[in-house]
C-alpha cells in the first residue's frame, strides 16, 4: 500500500529562505536604527549638548526596561501567544519608540514647554537626551522582543535543516545594516550645518517597511501552522509552557554559563559600536565621516564569514571551539585599539583590527545561537532565548555608562573643549578599550568552561546541526 507523504511549506527551499529574508529585513532595519547616531557622537554633542556621560546614558536606555523584567515577559508572551503575535507587536513597539526618539532630536521639539520642563531637572542630561532615551527604551523593548522572536521562528522553520546557516545569514543581513548606517548616516547628516534629524527620520521610515515585511511573513507562518496542525493562539509547542519552567531554566548551570558568556562577549561588541567611530576619530585625527568609513567595514567581515561558519556548523559542527576562537580574536583587537593604535596611529592597522573583530563577531553568534536548541527544552525555547537576552541586557545597559564615565574621568576638560569647537581636542580611549579587552578575557574563560562541560556531558555542541 502506497502512503502519500504531505510536503510541508518549509520543505520548499524557496519558502523557508523567503521567510528568513522577511525576518532578516525587519532585523536589518532595527539594527540600522540602533546605530544611526553612533557615527554622529561629536555632531550631537555640538548641536544638542550631549556630553559623553549623557550620550552613554542615552545609549544604555535601550536596555533599561528589558533589564527591569520586560524581556522575561516577552519570552512568556512568545511561548504563550506564538511567533506571529509577538513579532507584530515587537515591530509596532519599535516604530512607536523610534518616532519618539525622532521627535526628541527634531526642530519640532526644540523650544517647546516640554523641552523647558525636561531641562529644568537633572541638568547634566539635556531635555532632548531625556526624551530620546524614553523613545529608545520603548524601541529597545520591541527590538529585543523581535530578536528572540526571530530566533524561535528560524528554529521552527529550519528544524532538522540548515538552521545554523539560516541564523548565520539572518545575522549577516542585520550586520549589513550596520555597514549601511555607518555609510549613510554621516552623509545624510551633511558637512555644512550637520544634523542628526535626517538620518533618524530615514531609519524610522525603514522600520515601517520592516513592519510590512513581518506582516507578509505572518501570512506564510499561518499557512505553515495549518500544515503542522498547530494552534496559532497557543504557540508552537507540543506541550504548553508553564511558569515553573522559568525556575527550571534559572536552576540550570549550563544556562548561566551560556548567558554569562553571552553578556560578556556582547558587552564588548555592541557598546563598542557606539564609541568606535569617535575612538578612531580621536586616535587617527580624522573627520567623523572618514572614521565612520573605516569602522563601517566591521560588520562586513561578520556578514561575509557568518554564513560560511553557519554552513560549517551545519555540516561539521565544532560550535564550542568557535566560541573560544572568537573570544581570543576579540581580546587581540581591543588590545590593539587600546595600546597599539595610540602609539602607532595607522589607518591600515585600524582597518585590519576592525576586520578581525568582524570575524570574531561571526564566530561567536554563529555558533552560540544555534546551540541553544541543543541544550534547552523545546517547549520553553522562547523563554530560554529571552532570559539569555535579559541577562545580556544588563551588560549592554551598564557598559556604555561605564565607558562614558571612564571617558570623562580620563579626559578632564576635553568634553568642554570639544563642545566649544577647540581645534585638536580629542579623547584618549586607552582605558575604555582596556575595559572592553577585559570583558573579552572573561568571555574566553566561560567559553573554555562550556567546551569542557560539553566534552564531559556530550551536549552535542561540537556536533553538526544537520541530521543524516
pLDDT tier at 3, thresholds 50, 70, 90: very low
Task: Please give the pLDDT value at position 238.
Answer: 43
Chain segment 211-222, per-residue pLDDT in tens: 999 999 999 988
Q: For 149-174, what is each residue's pLDDT tens digit?
A: 998 888 888 877 777 778 777 877 77
- Going by C-alpha positions, the residue among 282, 281, 275 that lies closest to residue 294 is 281
pLDDT classification of 92: cutoffs 50, 70, 90: very high
Q: What is the pLDDT of residues 47-69, one digit of tens each?
A: 888 888 888 888 888 888 888 87
CA-wise closest residue to 173 among 365, 323, 390: 365
Write out pLDDT tens, residues 175-211: 788 888 888 998 998 877 888 999 999 999 999 999 9
Cell numbers given for 429: 580611549
Which comes out higher in pLDDT, residue 11 or 242? 11
Domain regions of the chain by residue span: 15-227+243-457
More confident residue, 24 or 124: 24
Pairwise CA distance, residues 451 & 114, whole Å? 53
pLDDT > 70 in the chain, percent: 92
Q: Residue 338: is its pLDDT beyond 90?
A: yes
Most confidently modeled of 149-153, 271-275, 278-282, 329-333?
329-333
Q: What pLDDT score was predicted for residue 4?
A: 44
CATH class of 15-227+243-457: mainly alpha
- What gap in Å lies between CA 42 and CA 346, rounded to an integer? 21
> At what angle are helices 347-368 and 253-267 packed, to 10 degrees?
160
- What band does 233 get if pLDDT is binned at 50, 70 and 90? very low
Q: What is the model's pLDDT at position 379?
A: 67
Retrieve residue 246's grid coordinates: 522559568
**Grid coordinates given for 112:** 517647546
426: helix, coil or strand?
Answer: coil
Read off the DSSP letter of residue 125. S
Across residues 323-328, what is the average pLDDT? 89
Is the model's pTM score more than 0.85? Answer: no
Better-predicted residue by pLDDT, 40 or 173: 40
Whether 349 and 376 have beta carbons less than 8 Å apart is answered as no
pLDDT of 86 reads: 93
Residue 130, all three cell numbers = 531625556
What per-residue confidence (pLDDT) applies to 382? 66
218 C-beta neighbours (distance < 10 Å), count: 18
Q: Which residue has the higher pLDDT, 407 or 365?
A: 407
Which of these ranges, 104-118, 368-382, 439-453, has the smallest mean pLDDT? 368-382
pLDDT the model gives residue 234: 43
Q: Please give the pLDDT value at position 125.
A: 85
pLDDT of residue 167: 79
Residues 377-403: what's their mean pLDDT? 80
Angle of the 13-34 helix axis to the 83-105 helix axis, nearest 10: 30
Confidence of residue 103 (pLDDT cuts 50, 70, 90): very high
Provide the pLDDT for residue 205: 96
Place of cell 506582516: 215
Q: For residues 26 and 197, give the distance between their C-alpha atoms in angstroms, rounded to a whole number.
A: 22
What is the reported pLDDT for 430? Answer: 93
Please state the rounded mean pLDDT for residues 247-272.
86
Residue 408 DSSP one-character state = H
- pLDDT higher than 50, residue 102: yes
Average pLDDT, the chain: 84
Higher pLDDT among residues 68 and 11, named by residue: 68
pLDDT in the model for residue 353: 92
Alpha-carbon distance 91 to 71, whole Å? Answer: 15
Q: Measuring CA to CA, which residue among 186, 135, 151 is closest to residue 290?
A: 186
Least confident of 85-99, 359-373, 388-402, 436-450: 359-373
**pLDDT at 467 (0 to 100):** 61
Amino acid at each position: 500500500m502506497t502512503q502519500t507523504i504531505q510536503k510541508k511549506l518549509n520543505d520548499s527551499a524557496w519558502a523557508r529562505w523567503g521567510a528568513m529574508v522577511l525576518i532578516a529585513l525587519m532585523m536589518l532595519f532595527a539594527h540600522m536604527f540602533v546605530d544611526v547616531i553612533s557615527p554622529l557622537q561629536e555632531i550631537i554633542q555640538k548641536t544638542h549638548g550631549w556630553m559623553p556621560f549623557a550620550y552613554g546614558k542615552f545609549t544604555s536606555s535601550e536596555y533599561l526596561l528589558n533589564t527591569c523584567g520586560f524581556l522575561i515577559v516577552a519570552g512568556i508572551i512568545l511561548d504563550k501567544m506564538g511567533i506571529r503575535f509577538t513579532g507584530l507587536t515587537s515591530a509596532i513597539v519599535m516604530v512607536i519608540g523610534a518616532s519618539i526618539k525622532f521627535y526628541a532630536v527634531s526642530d519640532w521639539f526644540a523650544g517647546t514647554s516640554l523641552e523647558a520642563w525636561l531641562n529644568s531637572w537633572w541638568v547634566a542630561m539635556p531635555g532632548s537626551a531625556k526624551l530620546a532615551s524614553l523613545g529608545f527604551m520603548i524601541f529597545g523593548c520591541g527590538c529585543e522582543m523581535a530578536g528572540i522572536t526571530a530566533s524561535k521562528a528560524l528554529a521552527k522553520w529550519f528544524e532538522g535543516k540548515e538552521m545554523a546557516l539560516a541564523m548565520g545569514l539572518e545575522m549577516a543581513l542585520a550586520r549589513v545594516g550596520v555597514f549601511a548606517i555607518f555609510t549613510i548616516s554621516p552623509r545624510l547628516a551633511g558637512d555644512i550645518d550637520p544634523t542628526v534629524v535626517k538620518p533618524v527620520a530615514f531609519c524610522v521610515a525603514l522600520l515601517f517597511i520592516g513592519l510590512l515585511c513581518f506582516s507578509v511573513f505572518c501570512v506564510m507562518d499561518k499557512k505553515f501552522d495549518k500544515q503542522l496542525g498547530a494552534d496559532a493562539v497557543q504557540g508552537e509547542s507540543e506541550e504548553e509552557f508553564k511558569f515553573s519552567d522559568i525556575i527550571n531554566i534559572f536552576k540550570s548551570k549550563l544556562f548561566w554559563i551560556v548567558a554569562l558568556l553571552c553578556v560578556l562577549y556582547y558587552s564588548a561588541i555592541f557598546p563598542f559600536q557606539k564609541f568606535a567611530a569617535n575612538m578612531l576619530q580621536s586616535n587617527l585625527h580624522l573627520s567623523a565621516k572618514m572614521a565612520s568609513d573605516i569602522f563601517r567595514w566591521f560588520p562586513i567581515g561578520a556578514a561575509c564569514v557568518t554564513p560560511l561558519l553557519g554552513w560549517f556548523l551545519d555540516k561539521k559542527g565544532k560550535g564550542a571551539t568557535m566560541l573560544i576562537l572568537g573570544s581570543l580574536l576579540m581580546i587581540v583587537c581591543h588590545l590593539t585599539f587600546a595600546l597599539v593604535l595610540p602609539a602607532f596611529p595607522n589607518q591600515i592597522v585600524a582597518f585590519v583590527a576592525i576586520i578581525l573583530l568582524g570575524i570574531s563577531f561571526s564566530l561567536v553568534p554563529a555558533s552560540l545561537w544555534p546551540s541553544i536548541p541543543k541544550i534547552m527544552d523545546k517547549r520553553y525555547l522562547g523563554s530560554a532565548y529571552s532570559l539569555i537576552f535579559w541577562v545580556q541586557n544588563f551588560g549592554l545597559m551598564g557598559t556604555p555608562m561605564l565607558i562614558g564615565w571612564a571617558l570623562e574621568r580620563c579626559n578632564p576638560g576635553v568634553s568642554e573643549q570639544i563642545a566649544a569647537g577647540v581645534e585638536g581636542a580629542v579623547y584618549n580611549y586607552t582605558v575604555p578599550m582596556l575595559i572592553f579587552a577585559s570583558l573579552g578575557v572573561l568571555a574566553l574563560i566561560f567559553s573554555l568552561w562550556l567546551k569542557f562541560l560539553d566534552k564531559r556531558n556530550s551536549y552535542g555542541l561540537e556536533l553538526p546541526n544537520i541530521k543524516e
